[in-house]
Amino acid sequence: MERDVGLATALRAPMQGRSKASYERMLAAAEELLVSNGSDDFTLNDVSKTGKVSIGSIYNRFEGKEALLHAVQLRVLTRLDKAMRDRLNAAQADYSGLDSLVVRLVDGIAETLREFADLMRPFMQRATTDAHVAAVGKASYAGTASFVKSALLAHRDEIRQPNPERAVDSAYRILYAAIARYLGFGSATTAAWEGDWDILKDDLARMIAAFLKTKPTF
């Protein structure tokens, strides 16, 4: 999925040589600080020290910390989206029936978000005050949601809900919310890591499959 990052600084990203290596160290250092701090509570001087790049070099590439974080988010989500796409493609390539597909999709989504949780968490928190971060994050979310819903709707004949589109949309929202809560995204950080991870995945898959395959009685 392409994103309009809306950053003049993104156009100043070097393409080769020492400048490219220095630029990559800036981004890698910011990622390291996001993980170690658990938030974006650090300065460009911290990035300079961690990445062993001059503060002047950072300002030559970025207008300020906000622009740097926007570039880092794009870098992280590019990797996350690829990992998510690879896992979901593998899930769709090897299954038998709706039940099996749901199990594999749930596992792919959950494990990808868990893999990137330490980087996603600070950006989820920042999204409440940074409209750009929120918009880019929503684009990534929407891409995964579209893939998953299309995969499930390919089994429309097994879905007994009266409105399959609504059903798969609700199922994905609930799945994502439960995983996000477990991983401590957003403001509910005190609820992070509650319960058993594998049990959560198993029960979510069972609940979603049962919901999709059960005809409502009211």
Domain ranges of the chain: 8-65, 72-213
Nearest partner of 91 among 83, 100, 82, 81, judged by Cα: 100
Q: Under CATH, domain 72-213 is a member of which superfamily? A: Tetracycline Repressor, domain 2 (1.10.357.10)
Assigned CATH for 8-65: 1.10.10.60
Cβ(104)–Cβ(208) below 8 Å? no
Q: Which two tokens stand for residue 178?
A: 């439960």
Q: What is the pTM of this model?
A: 0.88
Residue 73's CB: how many other CB atoms inside 10 A?
Answer: 27
Would you write out the chain's pLDDT as a tens digit for each of its 218 residues? 444 444 434 445 565 667 889 999 999 999 999 999 999 999 999 999 999 999 999 999 999 999 999 999 999 999 999 999 999 999 999 888 999 999 999 999 999 999 999 999 999 999 999 999 999 999 999 999 999 999 999 999 999 999 999 999 999 999 999 999 999 996 555 656 678 999 999 999 999 999 999 999 99
